[in-house]
Amino acid sequence: MLKAVRGFKDLLPEEASVWAYLESRAREILARYGFSEIRIPVLERTELFARSIGETTDIVEKEMYTFVDRNGESLTLRPEATAGVVRAFIEHGLHTRPKPLKLFTIGPMFRHERPQRGRLRQFHQIDVEVFGAASPGTDAELVALALEILGAGGAEGLRLEVNSLGCPECRRPYREKLREFLLARRDRLCEDCQRRAERNPLRALDCKKENCQAEYREAPELPDFLCETCRGHYEEFKTYLQEAGLSFVENPRLVRGLDYYTRTIFEIKAPGLGAQDTVAAGGRYDGLVSALGGPETPAVGFAIGMERWLLIARPPESLRLPPELFIAPLGDEARRWAFQLAFALRKKGLRVETDYEGRSLKALLRQANRLSAERVLILGEEELQRRKVLIKDLATGDQMFLPFEDLRDLVNRILIEMRF
């Protein structure tokens, strides 16, 4: 038997309907915050990710789905969305549009990691980006937006963690201090962290190994190294959150798995998710647009992980509305009538179900009950000849015969009978 590839998952109807519900709630809120959708390809040149996410990050070093296509070009299935959105922003000259430019995109991302609960190799994100806004007010607005979207899906007990990664100016001396710190206890760190110590010390702080995390409790902290401008930005960001009553925890060891972040970063974590507890994360990336060849453009964004949101969401009990009418046809002619009747009533906006398999009346009624249909309309050969049908309310048991002349008359009578 052929099965789906490891880390790639089918969404069966029950799950897909929750998914669609969450997406629609997100779209509704994004519209209220003034965001427009952008749709970009899942495939990009490998170089885009190497240059944006960073050559020495875990993502680029060992998690990307990279292959050489038939033209000999190195391509990669996107491991995240920001790089592609920035590429599109530059390519289409979107910087000439009024600022801030608020964009979102929803879709699959791909990373070759060990699959576990809440983490798949094809996973999905709602990705939100604002271009051309430098002030911390936008950072705070995005945090509020992320919390509102997650809350709309019924997520509770969310924990907001914030930090500032500073700018290249203040990060340089910090990186040096951190490197010294890591090298001094090199033997006690995992192999990955030993490597990171030299090449990308900040990455070490993100290590998932407990031993390493224990060592890092004493590590120098970035907020102590912030330059005046970065400190001011961070303070103002926190003031916005405080004044809006959005509680947060400062986590000075919070770093993200991507090199392009500057200043504000944040993560929203959910209880009960175990190690993979980050449902939304993001931050500012003021240098990325220019690093990829565009004009100097401050920018900030975040992404919500759909799979994890799904684990903590509390959608309404029933997302699928039951049929308002089930047509139970008996006999060939009745089935042709049922087809036309269902067609006409659905066009009028009614949820209608019927059956063409020639089942018995008993089986048809069972089917209507299984679908939780509100009413059933019985259409037999005899009824057709006598130009009347039987409508039965399945909740109350009330029933009535409905006389009719032709199909249009029958449609109208049903609509009146159902008080439409």
114, 6 Cβ separation under 8 angstroms: no
Q: From CA 70, how far away is CA 60, in angstroms rounded?
A: 22
Choice between 207 and 328, CB closer to Zn ion:
207
Judged by CB under 5 A, the stretch of 56-64, 211-219, 253-261, 377-385 that binds Zn ion is: 211-219
The pair of three-digit structure tokens given for residue 77, joined into one six-digit string: 């299935």
Among residues 54, 84, 166, 283, which is the contact residue for Zn ion, using CB under 5 A? 166
Nearest to 303 by CA among 262, 350, 256: 256
Among residues 22, 26, 170, 345, which is the contact residue for Zn ion, using CB under 5 A? 170
Residue 212 CB, nearest approach to Zn ion (Å): 3
Among residues 11, 43, 134, 190, which is the contact residue for Zn ion, using CB under 5 A? 190
Judged by CB under 5 A, the stretch of 66-74, 101-109, 165-173, 400-408 that binds Zn ion is: 165-173
Residue 40 binds to Zn ion (criterion: CB under 5 A): no
Residue 276 CB, nearest approach to Zn ion (Å): 17
Give the distance, in angstroms, between the CA of residue 57 and the centroid of all CA atoms in the same chain: 23
For strand 325-329 and strand 299-305, is the pairing parallel, antiparallel, or unpaired?
unpaired
Q: From CA 351, how far away is CA 327, in angstroms rounded?
A: 11
Binding mask 218-257 for Zn ion (x = CB under 5 A): ---------x--x---------------------------
Residue 87 CB, nearest approach to Zn ion (Å): 26
Among residues 85, 207, 255, 394, which is the contact residue for Zn ion, using CB under 5 A? 207
Binding mask 313-342 for Zn ion (x = CB under 5 A): ------------------------------
- Rounded alpha-carbon distances, angstroms, from residue 128 to 93, 143, 174, 204: 19, 11, 29, 27
Nearest to 142 by CA among 260, 303, 301, 306: 301
Q: Which string of DSSP letters, residue by residue, matches 151-177?
A: HHTT--S-EEEEEE---HHHHHHHHHH
Q: Which residues bind Zn ion (CB under 5 A)?
A: 166-167, 169-170, 190, 193, 207, 209, 212, 227, 230
